[in-house]
Amino acid sequence: MNFKSTRDKNNIVNFSQALFQGLAQDGGLFIPEETADLKDLFNSFTKDTSFVEIASKMTASLLSDTFTPRQAQKIAEKAYTFSPKIVNLNNDISILELFHGNSCAFKDYGASFLALAMETLLEEKEKKAVILTATSGDTGSAVAQAFVGKENIEVVILYPSGRVSPLQEKQLTTIGSNIKALEVEGSFDDCQRMVKEAFTDSDITQKINLSSANSINLGRLIPQSFYYAWAYSQIKDTYADTAFVVPSGNYGNLTAGLYAQSWGLEIKKYIAATNSNDVIPQYLKNGKYTPISSIHTISNAMDVGSPSNYERMSHLFNDDVNNFKSKISAYSISDENTKKIIAKIYDEERYIMCPHTAVGYGAAELYKQENPHTKMMVLSTAHPGKFTEVIEEVINVKPQLPEELKKLESREKVSTLISNDNKALKEYLLTTY
Ligand SMILES: *Cc1c(COP(=O)(O)O)cnc(C)c1O
């Protein structure tokens, strides 16, 4: 499979180029050039097919120009030392827990695959790369965990000093090895600006093979389709009519689901669940796409007012809102209702969910009112232990931190403080690598 830019169908690249370029040079996002047909493969999966096997076979089929089946299997085995779990709650609503990875959020699925794919390709070419990335918290920790110890890859993470949670900071600064944390005296926007500038500075790019690992990278998007295939194979014998509910911010997760569907996975409907950043629900309601400035909510990993993957979805649906509506329904859930849901599910089921997952659950209930016979699968995007403040406030119980994160509490923070100007980053990169 080759890939092309959303903005120029003649800008065609192979997987390796899409991976290391991240963004197309014309400013567009890379998308599959043609539609793959994986129907037979999907039909061959059963309840007993492991997640690693699904990941390995989908990789081998989709990326057969890039990886041999043997390489695909090695990538899947090494990337996925964790796997999803399904928890059945009441009335045909199930939770697809995607937070059993290293940073305890679903972003581990994309980041782990990206790291292994890059390591494999660099090894072949005997090249080295430096991954430069800015984070406001969660993305950076998934990337850091995924790349630790990878051969020929150095990672530099910029984060805004004092503006990430203490736990998030530990996740970024205690790993060591090939992961360097730069604590920037400024905002997340400063971090992003500095990273962008570095990519256009020829003094840096001539000396260092820079690459990015942000969420629009195809190497993170494609593997997010694997868990839809896994979850579907777990329930397909029991339910004919299923909808997957996706708590959404930048819409990478949902777009991956739409690709799986386009390759032949028989999911009837995707439900986009948002907090007050409701640009997609509004678009489906009135046909006008109007980005907004992001609104701060308690499900903060979804506080995105201008989702980048709208460009991919819109391409897939030929810019036609009716095509959108035939595949996606969308609901927005307020902070107040999100808290009510966390409380209700704890009360009824003794199950604790993170605020993002609760937004998904709220959307599932709304969809189910109109489609009572549909089996709902809600993607749970983060471990509740990462959001102790909100959860303790609502149910008066402190959720357990996952073991992976508990270990970090006693570790020493190691970071390099730098000022928020481009020269400081340039000097750091040129003297370190
Ligand atoms: C990133 C993130 C989301 C949003 O995912 P998108 O792919 O950007 O839509 C939802 N929940 C959590 C916990 C996240 O970290």
Is residue 362 in a domain? yes
**Phi, psi torsion values for 24, nearest 5 degrees:** -70, 150
Separation of 298 CA from ligand 1 center, angstroms?
13
Structural domain span for residue 291? 77-104+221-402
pLDDT at 317: 97
Is residue 1 in a domain? no
DSSP state for residue 177 in the 8-state scheme:
T
* Contact 248 CB / ligand 1 (< 6 Å): yes
Residues near 358 by beta carbon (within 8 Å), at least 6 away in sequence: 299, 333, 338, 339, 341, 342, 345
How far is CA 15 from each of CA 21, 69, 140, 254, 258, rounded to the nearest angstrom?
10, 15, 23, 21, 19
Catalytic residue among 4, 57, 107, 150: 107
The share of the chain scoring above pLDDT 90, in percent, equals 84
- CA dist., res. 409 & res. 167, Å (int): 8
Residue nearest to atom 11 of ligand 1 (CA): 381
pLDDT at 417: 97
Closest atom of ligand 1 to 382 CA is 13
Mean pLDDT, the chain, integer = 94
Q: Strand 179-185 relative to strand 269-274: parallel, antiparallel, unpaired? A: unpaired
188-192, 288-292, 354-358: which range is least confident on average? 188-192
Number of domains composing the chain: 1
* Contact 250 CB / ligand 1 (< 6 Å): yes
Query: Is the pLDDT confidence value at 91 over 90?
Result: no
At 325, is the pLDDT very low, low, confident or very high (cuts 50, 70, 90)? very high
pLDDT at 393: 95
Is residue 422 in a domain? no
Is residue 91 in a domain? yes
Is residue 232 in a domain? yes
Encoded tokens for 59:
């990789």
Query: Is the pLDDT confidence value at 397 over 80?
Result: yes
**Annotation marks residue 413 as catalytic:** no
Is residue 210 in a domain? no
Separation of 408 CA from ligand 1 center, angstroms?
23
Query: Is the pLDDT confidence value at 64 over 80?
Result: yes
- CA dist., res. 282 & res. 111, Å (int): 30
Q: Would you say the pTM of this structure is higher than 0.85?
A: yes
pLDDT at 90: 79
Closest atom of ligand 1 to 253 CA is 7
Average pLDDT over residues 127-156: 91
From 107, 139, 171, 297, give the residue whose CB has the most ligand 1 atoms within 8 Å, as the site to mutate. Answer: 107
Closest atom of ligand 1 to 386 CA is 13
> 348: domain CATH number?
3.40.50.1100
Is residue 250 in a domain? yes
Average pLDDT over residues 238-243: 90
Is residue 60 in a domain? no
